[in-house]
Amino acid sequence: EPLSRNPVLVAMLFGLLIGSSFACPDALRPGLDFTKRYLLRLAVVLVGFRITTRLFLDLGFMPLAVAAIELILVLTLLYAIARKLFRLDAEIALLVAVGSAVCGAAAILSMAALVRARDQSAGIAIALITLCGTVALLAYPVMFLGGWLPHLDDRLYGVFVGASIFELAQVYGASFAISDDALNTATLVKFSKVLMLVPLLLAASLVFRSRNRAQEAAPIPFPWFIVAFIGVVILNSEITLNPQLRRVILGVDQFLFLMVMIALGITTRVGRLERPAAPGA
């Protein structure tokens, strides 16, 4: 039943099956990268047609509070565990901690550019984050519908999903399977985490510049698609869309997420985790 209720999850599994069974031709990779980067952002913007400012007011400062607390706790604890318990390379440990605390691959790539991390380190971190998020995407709806999370209603489940799953598309898939209330709440919590990327990169750039005064730190990216998302939410709150037009927009949005999930599945490589990054590579 969870599969029949969640076409986004089916798309992810389909992509993983293709990626594990066949080698992706190099000619197709630019299209997959375009899908994961730009079509994902467009899909996120269109999610704004599901949300109104009333939902923001009902939730209050809770999403931002969850995101801020998680940023500090997860970043520090996971980095320490990765270094001391699993004895990971400092670069990989930092990227995994950042991806877990903020917003997955986007945070990893931003931090990797800032600290000039090795490409292989970023690849390993993204593969690990994507695999963990895929496990959560598969498990969370089954756990909730099976009654294994008895103290969570749809809204609290949305908070749980938005706070603990790394990628936006995976958050969408795990919450879409339950209800619109779960999806809307998870989206707001997740976007609050994305916004935490800005102060994190500002702080990291100051530390990086102080340690490498002879080098210029990379420019700090700003998630402009979040501004567009907020604009769509405001528009959706002020006007009433024709029901048929709204249905078309939400259908296009779901189709874009299906494309993103297939692209994520095709490009997820379990084998990357088996190859350690060579120091100095």
Residues in the chain: 281
pLDDT at site 184: 87
* The pLDDT of residue 2 is above 70: no
pLDDT at site 281: 38
Closest CA to 35 of 46, 43, 27, 26: 43
pLDDT at site 4: 61
Instruction: Kindly state the tokens that stand for 99.
Output: 């991806």
Does 98 fall in a domain? yes
Does 260 fall in a domain? yes
pLDDT at site 279: 44
Cα–Cα distance, 188 to 55 (Å, whole number)? 9
Q: Which residue has the higher pLDDT, 107 or 160?
A: 160
Residue with tokens 């969640």: 6
What is the pLDDT of the chain when averaged over all its residues? 81
* The pLDDT of residue 59 is above 50: yes
Q: Is 127 helix (H, G, I), strand (E, B) or coil?
A: helix
Cα–Cα distance, 249 to 269 (Å, whole number)? 32
Q: Which of 11-15, 77-81, 231-235, 238-242 has the highest mean pLDDT?
A: 77-81
pLDDT at site 277: 45
pLDDT at site 249: 93
Q: Which residue has the higher pLDDT, 269 or 34?
A: 34
pTM: 0.68
Closest CA to 107 of 120, 93, 96, 121: 96
Does 65 fall in a domain? yes
Q: Is 88 helix (H, G, I), strand (E, B) or coil?
A: coil
Q: Which residue has the higher pLDDT, 81 or 17?
A: 81
Cα–Cα distance, 134 to 175 (Å, whole number)? 13
pLDDT at site 127: 75
Whole-number percent of the chain with pLDDT over 70: 86
Does 85 fall in a domain? yes
Under the banding of pLDDT at 50, 70 and 90, the label for residue 278 is very low
Give the residue-averaged pLDDT of 64-87: 89
Does 42 fall in a domain? yes
Closest CA to 195 of 79, 110, 73: 110
Does 279 fall in a domain? no
pLDDT at site 88: 85
pLDDT at site 144: 92
* The pLDDT of residue 274 is above 60: no
Cα–Cα distance, 185 to 204 (Å, whole number)? 29
Split into its structural domains, the chain has a count of 1
Q: Which residue has the higher pLDDT, 81 or 113?
A: 81
Which residue intervals of 165-223 are DSSP H helices? Answer: 168-176, 180-195, 197-211
Which residue intervals of 85-167 are DSSP H helices? Answer: 90-101, 105-115, 119-145, 154-164
pLDDT at site 272: 54
Burial class (CB in 10 A: 0-12, 13-18, 19+), 10: middle
Does 106 fall in a domain? yes
Helix then strand then coil, % of the chain, to nearest 5: 80, 0, 20
> Torsion angle, CA of 200/48/133/271, rounded to 10 degrees?
-90
Does 224 fall in a domain? yes
203-245 pLDDT, tens digit each = 887 777 666 654 555 555 566 777 888 888 889 889 888 989 9
- Print the domain residue range for 193: 2-18+36-268
* The pLDDT of residue 57 is above 50: yes
Under the banding of pLDDT at 50, 70 and 90, the label for residue 64 is confident
